[in-house]
Chains A and B, each alone.
Chain A
Amino acid sequence: MSWPPRSSDPRLTVAQGEPIGASQLEERLDEALDPVLSSRRTAQPLALKLAALLDRELQDFTLHWVAVIARTSGEMAYQFAALAPEALRKLDPATAEAWIIHAMDTFDREGLYRGSSELKNLDAFIAASNSHTQAVAFEDACNVLGLFICGLAGRRLKLEAGAEAYTDTETIHLPARIAVRESPAQNFLVYKAMATHLWAQTRYGTFNCNPAEALASYPDPHKALALYHYLETTRIDAIIARNLPGLAREIAALRDAAQPPPACRRVLDPDATATDSLALVGTLYDKFAPPRLNYMGALHPELVQAVRSSRIAREKRELQSELARMLAEKSGASQPQSAAGQRFSVNQNDQADFGGDFELRLDGEAVSPPEHVNDLLQSIAQDLGEIPDDYLVPAGGGYRENRAPDNKADDVWQGTYHEEGAVLYNEWDYKRRHYRKNWCVLRELDVHPGNPDFIDATLLKYAPQVTLLRRTFELLRGEDKLLKKQVNGDDIDLDAVISAYADMRSGMELSERLLVKRHKAERDIAVMFMVDMSGSTKGWINDAEREALVMLCEALDVLGDRYAIYGFSGITRKRCEIYRVKRFDERYDDGVRRRIAGILPQDYTRMGVAIRHLTALLNAVDARTRLLITLSDGKPDDYSDNYRGEYGIEDTRQALNEAHRSSVHPFCITIDREAREYLPRMYGEVNYTVIDDVARLPLKVADIYRRLTT
């Protein structure tokens, strides 16, 4: 495999194919690395080493990537330049690129320290990449594993990538990649075994006997914990063998025939619990060094303890208030809640082991609990082994507790940053030619309702046009058509019969087309309007946008197409915002009108992430034709991090390509007169329209929509 041709810098005075000299290299590096160089830290040593490579292809490759990385981080680029000469001798082109992308991904995710250590960790990367084709990455496995764990029942668990495999009983952390076995299938199996074990730890009570406290009394708690972990793994393996025999056979292959020693027999019994493992730790503490199995992760009882105790308290409250609510519903809230005696009781069905239901009884009469109550009961039973009686006392006013998370989405705008409740999206970096993973943090917000007078004023201003618009769109509406002379149909076409009769009399052939058929031309269209709410729309553009939306809604309401309106804006990748104006399932009512009036200019235009999010929403709608129409006033743009310019255009283009692949038709209506320079690249030659005169926007949009959909 040869090094990919990198366009050589035209300013170089060296002929193609000839190695570049140190001084010219230094010049180039100086330029790229300028922000991180100083009088004590110059590009000279880097240039000397790079010149010593004596291979023009490698030099071009290095210069190219130094420039690319410098766009993200000067320091990373410097590190790379320092390491590249040596590294490139060892690596083939594909691996070198993978090495760089891997380090940059780490940088994106975890910052400079981890990123540069990934760069320096070349040998480890080579070792891993030798098994590269055999390795399984978390991203490839996590969806399947997530569904797998979900299918196994029990408390819903999240899956996340981390440095090691462990669980805090609500999230399963798995390593980012696994390459311990020879084939991808085997490595996936290791993932599966790990995930199943972590699931089983929460399912079968590994943490229910408070191991952190119990093991702390040993001289070396770490050793005791390792032993406990091994015993629990053995116990869970036995449980899996009983309940999931197929999986157990596969896991047995991973154990490499290492059977548990006879002293551990107790934990293999069907009635063994975590307490037995804990007891065995005492017996075996000095006598037995537990082996490590490759699907064993880590135990972090102290992390679990915190999560578990807060969950137990929370779920008790939730269950009690749910029961109170059920009670209130049943008795019509007329009876006092403090009715005598124990009103609720619970029986666990035999099948509860595998997601079976709980039988909830109210005054001895079976009631079927709603699904989330069932989940709560499951979760409580998992933690405590049963549903304690005091949990079944309704309390809490009978209303569902407002489960507002401690982190509110609004906090982000008040200084405390977090990513809870947000959706993460990849972003395309055209320089790297790779996605930046989970790069954009997007939140859906509600538009603050505005003054409804605006709507009335608009309708008044455009009254004649609105009437015309409604009439035009009424004509578009799928009306029943009577198709005559059909082979099949609902009714007889008497005209056809009579003429056929005459034909037949005169000796001609009898036509088969004697029926009429009602044909309903159905418009099966769902359309998403994506409205630019960037700061640059401030003033009359914003007014025109809102007016256009009012006119559109009037027209679409007549037409009956399903439509949604969302605004987008944001500032930096960490604060991308989508504003709900009208959801697909909402009617065009007063609330929607007020929200249209409330559309206000916000910050910047990071388009890629908005397109990705709205495409996902659009794809959830069942329709034959799905349209994504953008109303915009300019190029994609964002504060800092290089989104402005080519990067933003390429990311938007990539997002539109993704949308197109998922059978969404993107279209853009813009008022930017320079749009003809970049829109064809993003939307294609025919999928956009430029409106020169902002004032005409309200009148044109509905018209364009009509043209698009007929």
Chain B
Amino acid sequence: MTKSTASRVSTLHERALQPEARLIEQEPYYEPLGPEIALFDAAYASLIPVLLKGPTGCGKTRFMEYMAWRLKRPLITVSCHDDLTASDLVGRYLITNNETVWVDGPLAHAVRCGGICYLDEIVEARKDTTVVIHPLADDRRILPMEKHGELLHAPKEFLLAMSYNPGYQSVLKELKQSTRQRFIAIEFNYPHAALEKKIIVTETALNTDATDKLIRLAEMTRNLKGNGLDEGASTRLLVHAGKLIAKGIAPRTACNGAIAEALTDDPEMLRAINELAASLF
């Protein structure tokens, strides 16, 4: 590889990976729900990959950021989608100037730099993709890159983490036993009311009264889960609504925009949630 090619490759690497690979400098705000920090620390030290389970918006990604900051490792997040292929993760050849050059995918990059690779919503990815991570996720801790003819050994700093939401997955998108049994699973749920209140107040600087009402509204929508709603309002939605209210938006409008419309398109359900919000505010 010539020098100029090498520089081009590094530019490619930057383009491909820089936006996602990052070292988190500032401490992200995170409130522990249980022993998850200790669990994660222990798993990291024991080189066991981690699976985060839980409904959307309950703090899984924030937790990953917090842990990456705590462990001082770069966090490489891959949001999985149904067209995500194995080469998207591992890497591929690109053609530059009459030459083919190999460009690492985010997973290979994370292995090389000893970072934390976080596969968000892993069930969305194609089934063949999940198999690629198998050798990385057991005690071999290797990433075979057949196309490149290279076998990457993960350093001890590397950690594989992924998240999935057991709540809304369809039968088609179930996590294979062979995949899930390689991980330590940490379950997340919505924080209990007092903690949720603390989170909302910290994130939005909203007054206590309005925060209480938001939490009640969340509780009400969570009662509706299974009765027309797939999920209740997540802590994230409450934070959104809180931020809108703190910005001076009328509470009912804020709840409609940030909670009701975000939860459902069904007109009757929308109306019911709005009625619930209106009964509080």
Interface residues of A (CB under 8 A from B): 143-148, 150-153, 192, 196, 244-247, 250, 349-351, 354-356, 490-492, 497, 501, 514, 518, 585, 622
Give the contact stretch, choosing among B58-66, B132-140, B270-278: B270-278
Nearest chain A CB to B132 CB, angstrom units:
12
Report Cα–Cα, A246/B255, bound state, in Å. Answer: 13
Q: Is the CB of B268 within 8 A of A491?
A: no
Known: A351-B219, A355-B223, A491-B93. 17 other contacts (CB 8 A): A147-B268, A148-B272, A150-B223, A153-B219, A196-B279, A244-B279, A244-B280, A246-B281, A250-B279, A350-B193, A354-B219, A355-B219, A356-B219, A491-B87, A492-B93, A492-B100, A622-B172
Q: Is the CB of A151 within 8 A of B85?
A: no
Q: How does the 8 Å CB contact mask read for B205-233 relative to A, with 1 for contact and 0 for none?
A: 00000000000100111111001100000
Contact A355 to B224, CB < 8 A, known contacts A148-B275, A192-B275, A491-B147? no
Report Cα–Cα, A518/B128, bound state, in Å. Answer: 12
Closest 4 CB pairs of A and B: A147-B272, A247-B279, A151-B220, A244-B279
| Chain B residues whose C-beta falls within 8 Å of the C-beta of A585 in the assembled complex | 171
Q: Is the CB of A356 within 8 A of B193?
A: yes
Q: Taking the complex as formed, is B98 at the interface, i.e. its CB lies under 8 A from any CB of chain A?
A: yes
Q: Taking the complex as formed, is B269 at the interface, i.e. its CB lies under 8 A from any CB of chain A?
A: yes
Q: Taking the complex as formed, is B153 at the interface, i.e. its CB lies under 8 A from any CB of chain A?
A: no
Q: Look across to chain A and name the residue whose beta carbon is closest to the beta carbon of B126.
A: A520
Q: Is the CB of B220 within 8 A of A153?
A: yes
Contact A246 to B278, CB < 8 A, known contacts A147-B269, A150-B227, A491-B147? yes
| Chain A residues whose C-beta falls within 8 Å of the C-beta of B92 in the assembled complex | 490-491
| Chain A residues whose C-beta falls within 8 Å of the C-beta of B86 in the assembled complex | 490
Decide if the interface of chain B is mainly helix, strand, loop or mixed.
helix
22 contacts between A and B (CB under 8 A): A144-B271, A146-B272, A147-B269, A150-B227, A151-B220, A151-B221, A192-B275, A246-B252, A246-B277, A246-B281, A247-B280, A250-B279, A354-B216, A354-B219, A355-B220, A491-B93, A491-B147, A497-B95, A497-B100, A518-B85, A622-B170, A622-B172
Nearest chain A CB to B79 CB, angstrom units:
18
Nearest chain B CB to A55 CB, angstrom units:
43
Decide if the interface of chain A is mainly helix, strand, loop or mixed.
helix
Report Cα–Cα, A151/B216, bound state, in Å. Answer: 10
Report Cα–Cα, A350/B92, bound state, in Å. Answer: 56
Report Cα–Cα, A196/B278, bound state, in Å. Answer: 13
Report Cα–Cα, A148/B273, bound state, in Å. Answer: 7
| Chain B residues whose C-beta falls within 8 Å of the C-beta of A492 in the assembled complex | 93, 95, 100
Q: Look across to chain B and name the residue whose beta carbon is closest to the beta carbon of A524.
A: B172
Nearest chain B CB to A620 CB, angstrom units:
11
Nearest chain A CB to B211 CB, angstrom units:
13
Q: How many A-B residue pairs have CB under 8 A?
A: 86
| Chain B residues whose C-beta falls within 8 Å of the C-beta of A146 in the assembled complex | 272
Interface residues on B, range: 35 or more
Report Cα–Cα, A518/B129, bound state, in Å. Answer: 13
Contact A355 to B222, CB < 8 A, known contacts A148-B275, A151-B272? yes
Nearest chain B CB to A402 CB, angstrom units:
23
Q: Is the CB of B223 within 8 A of A152?
A: yes
| Chain A residues whose C-beta falls within 8 Å of the C-beta of B216 in the assembled complex | 354
Q: How does the 8 Å CB contact mask read for B233-263 relative to A, with 1 for contact and 0 for none?
A: 0000000000000000000100000000000
| Chain B residues whose C-beta falls within 8 Å of the C-beta of A144 in the assembled complex | 268, 271-272, 275
| Chain A residues whose C-beta falls within 8 Å of the C-beta of B85 in the assembled complex | 490, 518
Q: How does the 8 Å CB contact mask read for B57-97 relative to A, with 1 for contact and 0 for none?
A: 00000000000000000000000000001111000110100
Nearest chain A CB to B102 CB, angstrom units:
11
Q: Look across to chain B and name the residue whose beta carbon is closest to the beta carbon of A189.
A: B275
Q: Which of B95, B170, B227 contacts A514 (CB 8 A)?
A: B95
Report Cα–Cα, A509/B147, bound state, in Å. Answer: 29
Report Cα–Cα, A585/B272, bound state, in Å. Answer: 31
Q: Is the CB of A246 within 8 A of B95?
A: no
Q: Is the CB of B276 within 8 A of A151?
A: yes
Instruction: Scan residues 93-111 of chain B and give those whose CB is less than 8 A from a CB of chain A.
Output: 93, 95, 98, 100
| Chain B residues whose C-beta falls within 8 Å of the C-beta of A145 in the assembled complex | 272
Nearest chain A CB to B207 CB, angstrom units:
14
Q: Look across to chain B and name the residue whose beta carbon is closest to the beta carbon of A150.
A: B227
Nearest chain A CB to B169 CB, angstrom units:
11
Q: Is the CB of B87 within 8 A of A354?
A: no
Q: Look across to chain B and name the residue whose beta carbon is closest to the beta carbon of A152.
A: B220
Contact A152 to B275, CB < 8 A, known contacts A147-B227, A492-B100, A497-B95? no
Report Cα–Cα, A492/B222, bound state, in Å. Answer: 49
| Chain B residues whose C-beta falls within 8 Å of the C-beta of A518 in the assembled complex | 85
